[in-house]
C-alpha cells in the first residue's frame, strides 16, 4: 500500500458475486458453517474469511472498512452505524472506571456532551484543554490518563491540531493519540503523522450526499480486533452496526471523494479570499491570516487543498440568522447542520452544533454567537455564488 490515500482507494479491486463491478451486498444477519470446528475458530477470531454474525462483521462492512483503512493508511478499520457510534466505542474500549482523558475543548458537540455528561457516570473523567497549546496538553496528563483526543481541524473554530507534536507527547507518556478526521478526509492523513487511532463520521464529506449517518475507526489490527472481540469489545457489545445496504452505498460514494474534496477546497478558498478582501472576519485554514496556516501546510496532502469548511463572524446572532435565512431563500444553500454536502450548508454553531457547550465556555474559547459555519458545496460557478452571497450580505447590512 502506498501512502497516497486516493491511489490506495483507486487500486482496490472488488468483484461482485456474479462478476459485478460493485461488490455484492450481503443480505444476511447470520452465516452457516460447513464444519462445526470452523465456528469455534471464528468465535475466537481466527478464521480468515469466515463470517459469524453481522453485528461482528459482514462482507459489505468489511469491503467499506478495508477501503477506509486504505485511505487512512492503517492496517485495518471497523465501520459503525454513526460517527458517535465509532467515537463512543473507542472511548469506552480504551477507558474504564477511574481513567482520564485529555481532550481538545473545541470538539464536535456530541463528543463534548458524551465526555462531559455521560462518561462521568462511568467514572471516566476528562480535562478539556486548548489543543493548540502543547504545554497545556502535557500539563493535563495524569497517571490515570489513557488518551489525548482531538479533531485534526476542530469544530467549529477550525483550529489545527499539531499531530506530530501531540503524537510525541502521547508516546512519551505511553498513551494513545486518537484523532477525529471528519473535517479533513484525504487532506490530512493522521496515521502518517503519528496518530494511533483515526475516526471519521462518514455522514459528512466521505459519503457526501447526506442520505445516511455512518462512522469508522481506523487503526491497527490489534486495536480493531479488540473493538470487535466477542468477550469485551465495545463495538461488538454496544452494537452500533452499520447496515450492509448503507455500507455498499457509502463505498460507491467514497470512490469520488478525491474529486469532491478538491472542488470543496477550491470553492471555499475562493470565497474565503474574496470575503476577507471585502473586510469580513473569515476563518479558513487556507488563508495566510489563519493562525495555523503554516502548521496546516506542514501536515497536509497538498493536492486536496485546505478543505470545505469556513466561518464568517457577522457580529451577532440576529444578523447571522437574518443572513442565513436570506441565503437559503436565494437558493445559495441550506440552513442546516452537518457538512460535506454537494450544496452549501450553513448554521450558527453557538445555537446548534455547539449548543451543548455552556455559554461561558463558548465565550472563553472564542466562539462568538455571530459566527456562521459554512460547509461550501460543489458549485460549478463559484464566482456567481460569490456575487449572490455578496448581494445577500449587502442587503442585511453585513457588507456595505
Ligand X SMILES: *Cc1c(COP(=O)(O)O)cnc(C)c1O
Residues that bind ligand X (CB under 6 A): 82-84, 108, 110-111, 151, 155, 180, 182-183, 201, 203-204, 213, 215
Q: Could you tell me the sign of the dihedral formed by the alpha carbons of 284, 286, 287, 290, in that order?
A: positive
As measured in angstroms, the least distance from the Cβ of 49 to ligand X is 29
**Closer Cβ to ligand X, 372 or 393, answer by number:** 372
**Closer Cβ to ligand X, 52 or 261, answer by number:** 261
Task: Check if the beta carbon of residue 320 is closer than 8 Å to that of residue 369.
Answer: yes
Nearest to 261 by CA among 348, 182, 371, 360: 182
As measured in angstroms, the least distance from the Cβ of 283 to ligand X is 16
Instruction: Reduce the DSSP state of residue 182 to 3 states and report it.
Output: coil
**Closer Cβ to ligand X, 83 or 233, answer by number:** 83
- The residue of the chain with the least Cβ separation from ligand X equals 83
Q: Indicate the Cα dihedral angle 372, 333, 204, 163, nearest 10°.
A: -40
As measured in angstroms, the least distance from the Cβ of 211 to ligand X is 12
> C-alpha grid cell for residue 37?
470446528
As measured in angstroms, the least distance from the Cβ of 182 to ligand X is 4
Count Cα atoms within 13 angstroms, Cβ side, for 5. 28
Q: Could you tell me the sign of the dihedral formed by the alpha carbons of 188, 189, 192, 193, in that order?
A: positive
Question: Cα Rg for the chain, rounded, in angstroms?
Answer: 21
As measured in angstroms, the least distance from the Cβ of 80 to ligand X is 8
As measured in angstroms, the least distance from the Cβ of 108 to ligand X is 4
- Cα maximum dimension of the chain: 76
**Closer Cβ to ligand X, 242 or 320, answer by number:** 242
As measured in angstroms, the least distance from the Cβ of 254 to ligand X is 15
What contacts 84, CB < 8 A, 6 or more positions away? 110, 111, 114, 201, 215, 240
As measured in angstroms, the least distance from the Cβ of 309 to ligand X is 9
Q: What is the 3-state secondary structure (H, E, C) of 379-394?
A: CCCHHHHHHHHHHHHH
Instruction: Reduce the DSSP state of residue 42 to 3 states and report it.
Output: helix
Nearest to 197 by CA among 151, 250, 245, 256: 151
**Closer Cβ to ligand X, 191 or 201, answer by number:** 201
Query: What distance in Å separates the CA atoms of residue 354 and residue 109, rounded to the nearest whole number?
Result: 5
Amino acid at each position: 500500500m502506498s501512502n497516497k490515500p486516493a491511489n490506495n482507494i483507486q487500486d482496490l479491486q472488488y468483484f461482485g458475486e456474479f462478476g459485478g463491478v460493485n461488490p455484492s451486498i450481503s443480505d444476511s444477519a447470520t452465516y452457516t458453517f460447513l464444519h462445526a470446528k470452523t465456528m469455534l475458530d471464528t468465535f475466537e477470531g481466527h478464521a480468515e474469511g469466515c463470517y459469524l454474525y453481522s453485528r461482528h462483521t459482514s462482507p459489505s462492512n468489511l469491503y467499506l472498512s478495508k477501503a477506509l483503512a486504505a485511505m487512512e493508511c492503517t492496517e485495518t478499520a471497523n465501520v459503525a452505524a454513526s460517527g458517535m457510534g465509532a467515537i463512543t466505542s473507542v472511548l469506552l474500549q480504551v477507558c474504564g472506571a477511574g481513567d482520564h482523558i485529555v481532550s481538545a475543548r473545541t470538539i464536535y458537540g456530541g463528543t463534548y456532551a458524551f465526555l462531559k455528561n455521560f462518561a462521568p457516570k462511568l467514572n471516566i473523567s476528562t480535562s478539556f484543554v486548548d489543543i493548540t497549546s502543547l504545554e497545556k496538553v502535557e500539563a493535563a496528563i495524569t497517571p490515570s490518563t489513557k488518551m489525548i483526543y482531538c479533531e485534526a481541524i476542530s469544530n467549529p473554530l477550525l483550529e489545527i491540531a499539531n499531530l506530530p507534536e501531540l503524537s510525541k507527547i502521547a508516546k512519551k507518556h505511553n498513551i494513545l493519540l486518537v484523532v477525529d478526521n471528519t473535517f479533513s478526509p484525504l487532506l490530512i492523513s493522521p496515521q502518517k503523522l503519528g496518530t494511533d487511532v483515526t475516526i471519521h463520521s462518514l455522514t459528512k464529506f466521505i459519503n457526501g450526499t447526506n442520505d445516511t449517518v455512518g462512522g469508522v475507526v481506523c487503526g491497527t489490527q490489534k486495536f480493531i480486533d479488540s473493538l470487535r472481540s466477542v468477550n469485551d469489545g465495545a463495538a461488538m457489545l454496544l452494537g452500533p452496526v452499520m447496515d450492509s445496504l448503507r455500507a455498499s452505498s457509502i463505498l460507491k460514494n467514497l470512490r469520488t471523494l478525491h474529486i469532491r474534496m478538491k472542488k470543496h477546497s477550491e470553492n471555499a478558498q475562493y470565497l474565503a479570499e474574496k470575503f476577507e478582501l471585502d473586510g469580513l472576519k473569515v476563518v479558513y485554514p487556507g488563508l495566510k491570516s489563519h493562525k495555523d496556516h503554516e502548521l496546516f501546510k506542514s501536515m497536509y496532502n497538498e493536492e486536496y487543498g485546505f478543505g470545505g469548511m469556513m466561518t464568517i463572524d457577522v457580529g451577532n446572532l440576529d444578523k447571522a440568522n437574518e443572513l442565513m435565512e436570506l441565503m437559503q431563500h436565494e437558493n445559495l444553500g441550506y440552513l442546516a447542520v452537518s457538512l460535506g454536502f454537494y450544496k452549501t450548508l450553513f448554521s450558527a454553531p453557538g445555537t446548534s452544533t455547539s449548543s451543548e457547550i455552556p455559554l461561558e465556555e463558548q465565550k472563553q474559547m472564542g466562539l462568538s454567537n455571530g459566527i456562521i459555519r459554512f460547509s461550501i458545496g460543489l458549485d460549478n460557478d463559484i464566482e456567481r455564488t460569490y456575487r449572490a452571497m455578496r448581494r445577500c450580505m449587502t442587503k442585511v447590512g453585513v457588507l456595505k
